[in-house]
Amino acid sequence: MPAADERRETAEQLALTLSEHGMQRMAARVLAAAIFAEQPTLTQGELTEELAVSTGAVSGAITMLTSVGLLERVPAAGSRRDHYRLRDDAWARLFSRQNEVVEAMLRMARHGVEITSDEGHARPRLEEMRDFYEFMIGEFPALIERWQQQRAAKGR
């Protein structure tokens, strides 16, 4: 199998794995395409062509992936189109306070604790959820610092 075909097949396998574990299918495909891209950036049109899907599907996936910090829009000299790339710090950002999903889950857990009865079954579940997200968010900075130190030691 030629290298480009093998790369596409492996990207699709990654996308399938991501979608099997909860990521929206189109977001998973766009993310995998960005990871396996040989060029530094991709336009929405290039992603649409690469994945043979609608512009709207790619647009929604880009919105989701930028909101969680995996993709970023970058300037491209001489181009009137938006260009996107996998963030250099994508994986650390996914597990940081900057991840809107983690913050939203914590906010919802806190709110749920406020509005549920001390006597009911929901409150303990919501307290556990709140405590988990507060703990994880508190641990992220030290964990990410260790990751950045390891990256720097490898020269990245």
Distance of CA 98 to the CA centre of its chain: 11
Q: pLDDT digit string (tens) for 28-53?
A: 999 999 999 999 999 999 999 999 99
Q: Looking at 69-73, 75-79, 80-84, 142-146, which range is the least confident one?
A: 75-79
* CA neighbor of 72 nearest in space, from 63, 81, 80: 63
Output b/e per residue, 75-110; b: 16+ Cβ within 10 A: eeeeeeeebbbbbebbebbebbeebeebeebbeebe
Count Cβ atoms below 10 Å from residue 141 Cβ, excluding itself.
11
pLDDT score of 98: 60
Q: Residue 99 has what pLDDT?
A: 64
Q: Note the pLDDT of residue 77.
A: 84
pTM, two decimals, is: 0.73
End-to-end CA distance of the chain: give it in Å, rounded: 31
**Section 13-37 average pLDDT:** 95
Residue 1, pLDDT score = 60
Judged by DSSP in three states, 75 sits in coil
Q: What is the pLDDT of residue 140?
A: 83
pLDDT (0 to 100) of residue 4? 84
Tell me the pLDDT tens digit for each residue of 116-148.
999 989 999 999 999 999 998 888 889 889 999
Tens-digit pLDDT profile for residues 89-121: 888 877 775 666 788 899 999 999 999 999 989
CA distance 138 to 55: 39
